[in-house]
Amino acid sequence: MTQEKWSQLRQRLLKTVGQNNYTTWIEPLEFDELEGGVAVFHVPTNFMGNYVSQNFADLILHELSLSGEPVQRLSFRVAANSPVRPARSAERAEEPFQELTDQHAELENPTQRAAGTVVNKMETLQAAPLDPRFTFDSFVVGKPNELAHAAARRVAEGGPVTFNPLVLYGGVGLGKTHLMHAIAWELTARKPDLNVLYLSAEQFMYRFVQALRERRMMDFKHLFRSVDVLMVDDVQFIAGKGSTQEEFFHTFNALVDQNKQIIISADRAPGEIKDLEDRVKSRLQCGLVVDLHPTDYELRLGILQTKVKQYGATYPGLQIADGVLEFLAHRISTNVRVLEGALTRLFAFASLVGREIDMDLTQDCLADVLRASERKITVEEIQRKVSDYYNIRMSDIIGPKRLRSFARPRQVAMYLSKQLTSRSLPEIGRRFGGRDHTTVMHGVKRIEELKQTDGQIAEDVEMLRRALEA
């Protein structure tokens, strides 16, 4: 088979597999020879050869057969000079992966360079910018995030790697990205020569696909495996993307083998990420996995008080009435970003109209936010979710039976009803078979006590809360 015939065959494959698959997997194939019924192709990497063999070999064999070529099987070999093209000049060879050149490399201050995100030696790779607002000093610590904060602080000291990887997970707006940026800033300040790379999982996938397309996988591997600290945000993004997970897995192993620090964030625990390969889950779970719990009232109030102090310089003389911060901390309970955004809007509006921030102004200015933040979870929904979780009938939760296997789930449902709905204790009692409000009060108090001493109850309550708020 001639090269011209292979080119014609590739055009037919383009129509069959589509432009994206063609560009990524078919175009990089270089026909070498046809001997003994075996068509030999050169590929940039073993991974590409394996992927094409598993997903496109039958199609290629079919097209070759239609072309009259006596081919029985395909063979893929990594070219001796791959992935660097022979025609590359010496100047190009000294600038691997030039398309990823850090546009902030001219910054002289190492802290400024961190904002460009890859520090010092890794200036050939542009990653995600760091937000200068996200430091440890601006992070408000409370019971829901104190463990995550302590673990992040330990890693940011840059000492010996004690747990690898560090995985921070939690819902939207709970501080994962803030802690990731804070770690990067602190490491950069403590050790300016350290190679710290922070990027999102989506950026990792994009760089990987780009490297495959341009046949520069060796450059990609060198760049990602020569860092001292790799930080990947929102790792759940690579779930279901087999080839990206494959490369992430090998990058992860290579860095761990070199005792380099890896820090990961996700929106849920590694074991709960759907379509994430088991081997990737296993690697992520082998280090320290820390949950950022939903904020409690005290933490939300602390965040608001900190933001008010910061706004003091921007809005001097602006007064905020007693009870406003407490009202916001109570009403906006699910997302810190929404909470901070509401406060920002409130200060801006009050400064424009020249009024004190009181309850009337707050309710007028934030009417849409307050409506969206109203709790819509019902007691009946909680009862149904709890009964499914504990594998009992809903009638057992509402009914009179006092067996422990029914009483404890009933108390959990009462506790969640008190926390997640606006129903009063008597109203909750009526929905639990007409029980007295003192029974509900006792159940709520009992679960609050058990959460401090019984890890299983604490985990059950947290899992149910997440499921209900999802």
Alpha helices in 175-241 (DSSP H): 176-190, 201-213, 217-225
Q: Across the strands, what pairs with 357? A: 320
SS3 45: coil
For residue 2, say whether it is annotated as part of any ligand binding site.
no
Mark whether 281 and 316 lie in a shared domain. Answer: no
Mark whether 43 and 108 lie in a shared domain. Answer: no
SS3 86: coil
Mark whether 213 and 335 lie in a shared domain. Answer: no
Assigned domain for 90 exists: no
CATH number at residue 306: 1.10.8.60
Is the preceding peptide bond at 83 cis, omega within 30 degrees of 0?
A: yes
Mark whether 283 and 157 lie in a shared domain. Answer: yes
- Cα-Cα-Cα-Cα torsion 277, 282, 287, 293, nearest 10 degrees, comes to 60
For residue 175, say whether it is annotated as part of any ligand binding site.
yes
> For residue 180, with 0-12 CB atoms within 10 Å meaning exposed, 13-18 middle and 19 or more buried, which class applies?
buried
Cα–Cα nearest to 269, from 291, 287, 249: 291
Assigned domain for 91 exists: no
Residue burial 353-387, b: 16+ Cβ < 10 Å; e: rest: eeeebeeebbeebbeebbeebeeebebeebbebbb
Assigned domain for 270 exists: yes
SS (H, E, C) 387-450: HHHCCCCHHHHHCCCCCHHHHHHHHHHHHHHHHHCCCCHHHHHHHCCCCCHHHHHHHHHHHHHH
Q: How many domains does the chain have?
A: 4
Mark whether 68 and 203 lie in a shared domain. Answer: no
Q: Across the strands, what pairs with 196? A: 229
Angle among Cα 264, 267, 272 to the nearest 5 degrees reads: 95
Mark whether 156 and 19 lie in a shared domain. Answer: no
Mark whether 438 and 335 lie in a shared domain. Answer: no
CATH number at residue 16: 3.30.300.180
Query: Among 82, 116, 132, which residue terminates a domain?
Result: 82
Assigned domain for 88 exists: no
Task: Tally helices (H) and strands (E) across the chain.
Answer: 23, 8
Q: What is the pLDDT along the chain (470 residues), one digit of tens a residue?
A: 788 888 888 888 888 778 877 888 888 898 888 888 899 999 888 778 888 887 788 888 888 888 888 888 899 888 654 433 322 332 332 333 333 333 233 323 333 333 334 333 333 345 567 888 899 998 989 888 899 999 999 999 888 877 889 999 988 888 899 999 999 999 989 988 888 999 989 889 988 888 888 888 888 888 888 889 999 999 999 998 888 899 999 999 999 988 899 999 998 889 888 889 999 999 999 999 998 888 888 888 999 999 898 888 888 888 888 888 988 888 887 778 889 899 999 999 988 888 889 988 898 888 888 877 665 678 888 998 999 999 988 888 888 888 888 899 999 999 999 888 878 889 999 989 889 899 999 999 999 999 888 888 888 998 898 788 65
CATH number at residue 129: 3.40.50.300
Structure tokens at 289: 């996995």
Assigned domain for 87 exists: no
Assigned domain for 165 exists: yes
The pLDDT assigned to 90 comes to 28
Structure tokens at 89: 């000049």
The pLDDT assigned to 416 comes to 92
Cβ atoms of 170 and 218 closer than 8 Å = no
Transcribe 101-135 into DSSP letters.
Answer: --TTTT--SHHHHHHHSS-GGGTTS--PPPPTT-S
Cα(133)–Cα(154) distance, integer angstroms: 20
20 Rama sector, left if φ>0, alpha if ψ -120 to 50, beta otherwise: alpha
SS3 196: strand
Mark whether 264 and 208 lie in a shared domain. Answer: yes
Amino acid at site 393: R
Assigned domain for 92 exists: no
For residue 177, say whether it is annotated as part of any ligand binding site.
yes
> For residue 400, with 0-12 CB atoms within 10 Å meaning exposed, 13-18 middle and 19 or more buried, which class applies?
exposed
Query: Among 253, 270, 292, which residue terminates a domain?
Result: 292
Mark whether 215 and 104 lie in a shared domain. Answer: yes
Structure tokens at 250: 């090998």
Mark whether 274 and 325 lie in a shared domain. Answer: no
For residue 176, say whether it is annotated as part of any ligand binding site.
yes
Cα(77)–Cα(53) distance, integer angstroms: 11
Mark whether 406 and 355 lie in a shared domain. Answer: no
pTM score, whole prediction: 0.56
Query: Among 82, 107, 138, which residue terminates a domain?
Result: 82
Q: How many CB atoms lie within 10 A of CB 230?
A: 22
Mark whether 62 and 107 lie in a shared domain. Answer: no
Domain that holds residue 337: 297-372
Assigned domain for 279 exists: yes
